[in-house]
Structure 1
Amino acid sequence: MNELELKKLWQVTNDKLEQSFVIQKENIEDITRVKIHNLLSSMKPIKIFTLLIGILWVGIGGIALGSIYLYAFSEANKFFLFSATVQVLLTGIALFFYIYQLITIYQVDMTEPILKAQQKIASLKISTLWVTRILFLQLPVWTTFYWNTSMLENENWFQWIVQGIATLSFSFVAIWLFFNIKYENKDKKWFQLIFNGKEWTPLMKAMKLSEQIDKY
């Protein structure tokens, strides 16, 4: 076999290998897109359930609070009114994030490029972190809704010290979590304790799959 024939054989073999590599890569991308779609779709039930509960909670709470503000504001317990208003408002903000997430998940298409899927995964990750931060801001008002004027008149200093410690502690935890819930802390135990569930785990698996395609 002369040099020219060897070169032709090498070229043919190289072309076949490149073609095989391209086909293999396309197959891997197709399988990855299907897996990503299935992982993100698995998040739909819990998000729909949470959204429905949230809408019910905000709807009932909003109607009740509206009635108090309109017809019984002067007689209402202002501590309860303030606490409930903050809680309902924060829950309402969280609902917008859940609606956005559901729309994003339903827009994921198995035939779209991996890059678009990665962008949607990134937006879901960011919105999940934000909605968790916002919901944790509710912590302090769960320690103030039962306050009333009679407590100010009748409770002794020791009871108020205990109450103050509880409220300040919840406030500190809420603020600390708001500023520290970020993706850079994903490997820390407290972060994993909060985010270990059906709203986060499938998202992380989808992200890892999309990153593997880039490495490939």
Structure 2
Amino acid sequence: MEDKELINLWKTYDKKLEENLTLNRKNAEEITKIKIQSSLASMKPLKVFTVIVGILWVTFVDVLILGAFKAGGTFFLVSAIIQVILTKLAIGIYMYQLILIDKVDINDSILVTQERIARLKSSTIWTTRLLFLQLPIWTTFYWTETMWTNANVWTYIIQISITLIFTYAAIWLFVNIKYENRDKVWFQWIFNGKEWTPVMKSMAMLEQIEGYKVAHEL
């Protein structure tokens, strides 16, 4: 066999190998995208349930606020208003997340999918930070002017100490709940579940796709 024929055979083999590698890479990408879509879709039932319960809750609290306004319950009124505002913000973020999840499509580019997952990650963190800001108001909603008028020194010390502790915890969590702390034990304890795990799995799978591309280029 002449050298020219050997060269042609080698080129043909090399071309077929390249085509097979490209096909395998595309198949791997498509399968990974399907897995990402499925993983994110698993978040929807809990988020829909949370939105429904949240709407019912804020409706109930709004009714209580009207009652407290008429009755003049200042402490309860202020606490309830803060709580319901934060809850409504959280509900709005949950609805935004549902829209993001619905928009994830296997036909989208990797960059588009990465952007949407990044938004899911960021909004999940923000929702948690906002909800933890509610901690102090759970120690003040039951206060009344009569309680403070007739309270002894120990009541003042205990009640104010509890509120300060919860306020410190709320501020500390609001400041420290960020992606950079994702490896901390307390962070993983807070975020372990359907609200976070699918997002992390999807990000890992996107990195796999990037790995396929890098390997192909090499």
TM-score by length of 2: 0.93
Partner of 1:62: 62
Does residue 109 in structure 1 map to residue 105 in structure 2? Answer: yes
Post-superposition Cα deviations, 1:5-49, rounded to whole Å, max 9, x if no partner, equal 232222112111111111001100110111001001000000000
Does residue 27 in structure 1 map to residue 27 in structure 2? Answer: yes
Give the CA deviation at 1:208.
Answer: 0.5
Partner of 1:53: 53
1:29–1:114: 8 Å Cα contact kept in structure 2? no
Partner of 1:152: 148
2:68–2:74: 8 Å Cα contact kept in structure 1? no
1:137–1:178: 8 Å Cα contact kept in structure 2? yes
Partner of 2:216: none
SS of residue matched to 2:108: coil
Q: How many Å separate the matches in 2 of 1:188 and 1:201?
A: 15
Structure 1 unaligned blocks of 5 or more: none
Partner of 1:11: 11
Aligned ranges for residues 196-207 of structure 1 at < 5 Å?
Answer: 196-207=192-203
Give the CA deviation at 1:181.
Answer: 0.7
SS of residue matched to 1:130: helix
Give the CA deviation at 1:2.
Answer: 3.1
**Residue type of the alignment partner of 1:148:** T
Partner of 2:76: 80
**Residue type of the alignment partner of 1:105:** I
Partner of 1:194: 190
Q: How many Å separate the matches in 1 of 2:8 and 2:139?
A: 80
2:83–2:134: 8 Å Cα contact kept in structure 1? yes
Partner of 1:128: 124
Q: How many Å separate the matches in 2 of 1:162 and 1:61?
A: 27
SS of residue matched to 1:155: coil
Q: How many Å separate the matches in 2 of 1:62 and 1:108?
A: 35
1:97–1:127: 8 Å Cα contact kept in structure 2? yes
Identity across matched positions, percent: 51
Q: How many Å separate the matches in 1 of 2:148 and 2:44?
A: 47
Give the CA deviation at 1:67.
Answer: 4.9
Post-superposition Cα deviations, 1:184-205, rounded to whole Å, max 9, x if no partner, equal 1111100000000111111111
Give the CA deviation at 1:68.
Answer: 4.0
Deviates more, 1:58-67 or 1:87-96: 58-67
Work out which of the residue numbers 207, 215, 218 in structure 2 matches 1:211.
207
Work out which of the residue numbers 77, 92, 98 in structure 1 matches 2:94.
98
Give the CA deviation at 1:115.
Answer: 2.3
Partner of 1:44: 44
Q: How many Å separate the matches in 2 of 1:101 and 1:67?
A: 33
Distance 1:158 1:67, change over 3 A: closer
Post-superposition Cα deviations, 1:67-91, rounded to whole Å, max 9, x if no partner, equal 543xx1xx32211110011000100
Moved over 3 A (4+): 66-69
Post-superposition Cα deviations, 1:102-136, rounded to whole Å, max 9, x if no partner, equal 01111112222222221111110000000100000
2:47–2:98: 8 Å Cα contact kept in structure 1? yes
SS of residue matched to 2:143: coil
